Amino acid sequence: MNRFKNWAPYLQVTPLALVFLVFLVIPIATIVVVSFFDYNTAQIIPAFLRQNYEELLTSPVTWQTYLQTVEFAAITWLLTFVIGFTIAYFLAFYVRSTTWQTVLFLVCTIPFWTSNVIRMISWIPFLGRNGLANMTLMQLGLIHQPLEFLLYSNFSVVLVYVHLYTLFMVVPIFNSMMRIDRSLLEAALDAGASGWQTLVNVILPLCKPGIAIGSIFVVTIVMGDFVTVRMMSGGLSASVALMMANAMSLLQYPAAAANAVILLIVVLMIVAAMMRVVDIRKEL
């Protein structure tokens, strides 16, 4: 009985640990190993070469692509943060009945459980040359020719990022806000703070953990994205993951793997910087 008790946690955690070992740790290790392999048009050849990295890091295209991806991530982060924070702030402090709070929160989260690819497609009739946006603007007489930049541009890429990922900001920030002791707000009010001062000096600092968690989600997803970029830019914009996908389709596996390793290092560095703000284990 007692022996079983000491072993129980290990038995209970084994299935989960095995999945992570086989489908996370070993695959990432494989990427690292293959990134040093040699290759030709037909196959990959075990070797230990630095060539894949050298070619990658000396190409200006690589640097431009990384810069473009970081730019997408930064713009998306800023927009999702501002919108997400405002939505969470409204839900947490201005919706008074708990039922309404739950209902409105659900309204915000339901799209998360539907298909991202479909949600991207659904922007096409909206943004296209003859889409709803252009038709409306023309009918209002605001423009005389359809705006070309609405679809298949960096604009539509960022728009869809914001559409898909603002939720990742709303949920953790809302969670942080709901934990704020309401008497702190009253104290701020009593001490003569305006609503705006309370927001900036009391609420915002207390939401830091939620903001950090949301930021980690948004930034890592955008840094590793290629579906949205490929679909919404119509092939006009680049991203690191798209570059990898292209190398994969040319069967240049080691080149893709080397790029993957560098992307992973960049993403982990960004996350490490954000983790300094928050202890995730405390947030659960």
Residues 57-76 contacting another protein, CB under 8 A: none
Torsion (CA) 164, 168, 171, 177 in degrees, nearest 10 = -120
Q: How many residues bind another protein (CB under 8 A)?
A: 90
Q: Using the rule CB under 8 A, which residue among 173, 238, 241, 258 binds another protein?
A: 241
Listed ranges 49-57, 58-66, 112-120, 204-212: which one lies at the site for another protein (CB under 8 A) = 112-120
Q: Using the rule CB under 8 A, which residue among 40, 94, 191, 269 binds another protein?
A: 94
Nearer to another protein, 31 or 173 (CB): 31
State yes or no: residue 128 binds another protein (CB under 8 A).
Answer: yes
Q: Using the rule CB under 8 A, which residue among 51, 101, 116, 246 binds another protein?
A: 116
Q: What is the distance between the alpha carbons of residues 195 and 90, in angstroms, rounded to a whole number?
A: 13
Query: Is 70 within 8 Å of 78 (Cβ atoms)?
Result: no
Closest CA to 264 of 283, 241, 284, 245: 241
Q: Using the rule CB under 8 A, which residue among 119, 138, 147, 154 binds another protein?
A: 119
State yes or no: residue 221 binds another protein (CB under 8 A).
Answer: yes
State yes or no: residue 48 binds another protein (CB under 8 A).
Answer: no
Neighbours of 262 (CB within 10 A): 18
State yes or no: residue 143 binds another protein (CB under 8 A).
Answer: no
Burial 139-167 (b: 16+ CB within 10 A, else e): eeeeeeebbeebbbbbebbbbbbbbbbbb
Q: Using the rule CB under 8 A, which residue among 49, 81, 163, 178 binds another protein?
A: 163
Q: What is the distance between the alpha carbons of residues 197 and 195, in angstroms, rounded to a whole number?
A: 6
